[in-house]
Chains A and B, each alone.
Chain A
Amino acid sequence: MTFLHNIGLYIIMLQKMFQKPTKWKVMKELILKDTEDTVINSLGIISFVSFFIGGVITIQLALSTTGSFYPNYLVGYATRETIILEFAPTIISIIMAGKVGSFITSSIGSMRVTEQIDALEVMGINSINYLIFPKVIALLLYPFLISIAMFLGILGGMGACVYGGYSTMSDFIEGIQTDFIPFHMIYAFIKTFVFAFILATVPSFHGYYMKGGALEVGKASTTSFIWTCVTIIIFNFLITQMLLG
């Protein structure tokens, strides 16, 4: 019952997000601030994780595909497919659920606890539009982050492969170019847009409707991370089945 109640509440929240919009002059500032908080401030960690995980993926692929049976370009090909199809859009989104998601939940939750949301409501401001809509718009730039993750993941893989002595640069590049299907990029970016919406709204929901004090803000952040991950994984499956299945 609680689960159904929460789904209903989430849908109502989405509906209210588009009602009674905040003045554009104020909204513009909020979008810029949220872009900095959610996208720009995540560049460092995403770049770091992508580069090194790209390297690890490549080393593991190279070690498990040794022998004359496999073509030399296979490592580059498999690295590209793994990073574009799954690592960059999905795994990075799960990392973002931890970083950005818990930030969103705790910041909105703290506002709830300290009556700042009540203060907005009393002034006649649509607090859902004011707090959540700019995050949704800011995360429209999320595909930009994922593009960087894709690029750096492949670059990290190339570095690990070539400098680790698993393959030559030309073989790796040949692998990257082999059987490239442009639709896979479209698929990855469709997923990214859906995940961006989930990343903005699910943690916001948990922060906005939380009850209690400081301890509950921490609990809400944990719950929000779990539900954001679950939602991302379910939608990952559904989108993959619909677009590639």
Chain B
Amino acid sequence: MISVKNLKKSFDNNPILKGISCDFEKGKTSLIIGQTGSGKTVFLKCLLGLHKYEEGEIIFDNNNLESMNDLEKMTLKSNIGTVFQGSALFDSMNIEENVMFPLKMFKEMPFDEMQDRVNIVLKRVELLNSNKKMPSEASGGMQKRVAIARAIVNEPKYLFCDEPNSGLDPKTAIVIDNLINEITQEQNITTIINSHDMNSVMEIGEKIVFLKNGNLEWVGSKKDIFKTKNKAVTDFVYSSELYKKVRKMYLKS
């Protein structure tokens, strides 16, 4: 579980996060949604330790990030899997080497064992027989799968995904969303996804955190989002005619 308390962050005296507090439960897929510039990416980067925050607390299973020493932070980071928006695969390595990378860096195990583990993970993301392909030879969807495989190969406790389905066609996007959701439940990990894709919200949003102008505007589930009367949320989520109709139909039924 990850608890965030009163998180504040600004750039050049311009406040981006204005005191956000919320919890992200284990075994659940939580989505952070909001318009561009709402502070989603900054929030995620604060959780990942890529941005230093001015105020507040981030607690990973009763361990406060601020009070951790370097060794504890390193141990924590080895328990975090991250899927970046652009996949961030190492382009000098093939798919197998990319997935094996965290194992090489953090685990002391024979090469054969590492290879077995990589194959298991690649099979899980349905990418077997692509081991020797370079990232540049893989499609967008394949690259996302590799990124997910690399993120989970070390059996992390926490999984962070920054817009994992951006740039993908709707069908592949849903496949990637479901894959993340299934892995979260199988491995009982705490997953946080940064997204502004409404398909993701409707598909896997067990917990949805809506940010607006650096503030936490609304928290709920994908069922709650149909019933909410919060104008900021409804304006954002039901901005398209299709979703407006879907909502009407849901409320009628």
Contact = CB atoms under 8 A, between A and B. Distances in A.
Contacts of A25: 104
A23 B105 contact: yes
Nearest to B90: A116
The 4 closest A-B pairs by CB, nearest first: A124-B77, A115-B88, A119-B88, A124-B74
A123 interface: yes
Interface in B50-81: 50, 70, 73-78, 80
Interface residues of B, number: 25
A153 to B, nearest CB: 33
Contacts, number: 53
B86 A115 contact: yes
A26 B105 contact: yes
Nearest to B150: A119
Contacts of A20: 70, 74
Contacts of A122: 48-50, 77, 80, 82, 160
A232 to B, nearest CB: 27
B102 interface: yes
A63 B86 CA distance: 60
B3 interface: no
B91 interface: yes
B236 interface: no
A123 B85 CA distance: 16
Interface of A: 20, 22-23, 25-26, 33, 110-111, 114-116, 118-119, 121-125
B84 interface: yes
18 contacts: A20-B70, A115-B84, A115-B88, A116-B88, A116-B89, A116-B91, A119-B82, A119-B84, A119-B88, A119-B90, A122-B48, A122-B49, A122-B82, A123-B80, A123-B102, A124-B73, A124-B75, A124-B76
Contacts of B89: 116
Contacts of B160: 122
Given A118-B50, A119-B82, A125 B105 contact: yes
A58 to B, nearest CB: 42
Interface of B: 48-50, 70, 73-78, 80, 82, 84-86, 88-92, 102, 104-106, 160
Contacts of B82: 119, 122-123
Contacts of B74: 20, 124
Interface of A is mostly: helix
Given A23-B105, A114-B88, 8 more contacts: A20-B74, A22-B105, A116-B91, A119-B90, A122-B48, A122-B77, A122-B160, A124-B78
B93 to A, nearest CB: 10
A22 to B, nearest CB: 8
Contacts of B75: 124
A212 to B, nearest CB: 15
A99 B170 CA distance: 44
Nearest to B154: A123
A1 to B, nearest CB: 16
A74 B216 CA distance: 81
B91 A26 contact: no
Contacts of B76: 124
Nearest to B89: A116
Contacts of A125: 105
Contacts of A121: 49-50
**Residue picked from B73, B105, B160, most chain A C-beta under 10 Å:** B105
Contacts of A119: 82, 84, 88, 90
Contacts of B70: 20
A172 B84 CA distance: 63
B228 to A, nearest CB: 33
Nearest to B147: A119
A113 to B, nearest CB: 9
Contacts of B77: 122-124
Contacts of B91: 110, 114, 116
